[in-house]
Structure 1
Amino acid sequence: MKIILLGYMASGKSLVGSELAKILRLEYLDLDQFIEEKEGKTIQKIFLEKGEIFFRKIENSYLEEIISSKENLILSLGGGTPCFTNNLELIKKSKDVTSFFLNVPVNELAKRLMLDKDKRPLVSYVSNENDMLEFVGKHLFERLPFYNQANYKIDGNKAKEEVVEDIITKLF
């Protein structure tokens, strides 16, 4: 069984994924952390040095590697992962993958991102909450058609434990 968590930046994929892995006793991987370890650089540094196109290419190859080689695991994707190359098709065609979209309202995502923007290359330049709200609203609108193709849509605007419980209920 492979469980893949997708959703916008700051939707709680990493928090939920690591908690879910503990409960289900499965390996947990965060795709961005996996890429950072393999490349020996932060995602931010890869974006700065080589650009987004390079990043999306390696992201795709690492996603394919993980999906094809790992047996049982929980994997959190980067916010843009399902929206580029054939990543969504890789996820959907894999028979042992169940995907979950952690859906969080735009205003909550904007608040969370304002607190964490220095670690996120796509929003690091945003200076205030109104601009963040506008950016997230437009960006999320573009990405929703991809996210909505997950097997399940979960309300991610709850306590981590409740989100984990909702996922387990859908799985079993």
Structure 2
Amino acid sequence: MESRIYMIGYMGAGKTTIGRRLASMVRYPFIDLDQYIEKAHGTSVTDIFLDRGEEYFRVLEQRYLKKVTHLQQAVIACGGGTPCFYDNLEVMLKSGLVIYLKQSINVLHQRLIDQQMQRPLLMGMDESQLAAFINQNVTRREQFYLQAHLIFEPEKETLEQLVDRLSLFNKGG
């Protein structure tokens, strides 16, 4: 099995939750890239966005992504925008297995309604603005997400089936 497995997908897709479960199943350490950045900087991603801006955060994100590429084994949950900036996607594709966690727009909308205060890009939006924002951004980002080695749709497949596919993928099947 690949030594690094990157989970990508839109915010609210479940990358951290499913990534933790996957890490447990394959017996790899789990790293949430946002939490890794927060721990290193002693402040939340939300505060970094609010205090320093998105561009500053994306530079940090790139730096910490490159650090985790040196780990021997890990399941890494990336931020929703991680693969869309700089050479991040290329770095992930070359250094491990990239899995796109694909959720429907409806699932994302339902989850993100409850998480708006923890998501700096969503703060202050009403429900219709949120729906339009999600739809527009998923559409724009999907060109990056679809370059993943594997696509996992939790509404259509179990995590156990994904693990089976990982085994087949690593055998060249």
Query: Structure 1 length normalisation: TM-score?
Result: 0.92
Distance 1:14 1:157 in 2: 17
Distance 2:22 2:59 in 1: 28
Give percent identity, aligned residues only. 34
| Shift in Å, 1:158 | 5.8
Asked if 1:113 corresponds to 2:112, the answer is yes
Q: What residue is the counterpart of 2:14 in the other structure? A: 12
| Shift in Å, 1:21 | 1.2
Stretches of structure 2 lacking an aligned partner (at least 5 in a row): 168-173
Q: CA-to-partner distance for each residue in 1:44-72, whole Å, 9 max, x for gaps?
A: 000011111110001001000111x2101
One of 123, 139, 142 as aligned partner of 2:140: 142
Distance 1:144 1:12 in 2: 16
Letter in 2 for 1:165: E
SS of 1:74's partner is strand
Query: Structure 2 length normalisation: TM-score?
Result: 0.92
Stretches of structure 1 lacking an aligned partner (at least 5 in a row): none
Matches within 5 A, 1:27-42: 27-42=29-44
Asked if 1:70 corresponds to 2:78, the answer is no
| Shift in Å, 1:166 | 2.9
Distance 2:68 2:84 in 1: 18
Q: What residue is the counterpart of 2:171 in the other structure? A: none
Asked whether the 8 Å contact 1:5–1:13 carries over to 2, the reply is: yes
Q: What residue is the counterpart of 1:123 in the other structure? A: 122
Letter in 1 for 2:164: T
* Deviating 4+ runs (over 4 angstroms): none
Distance 1:134 1:147 in 2: 19
- Number of equivalenced pairs: 165
Distance 1:157 1:3 in 2: 21
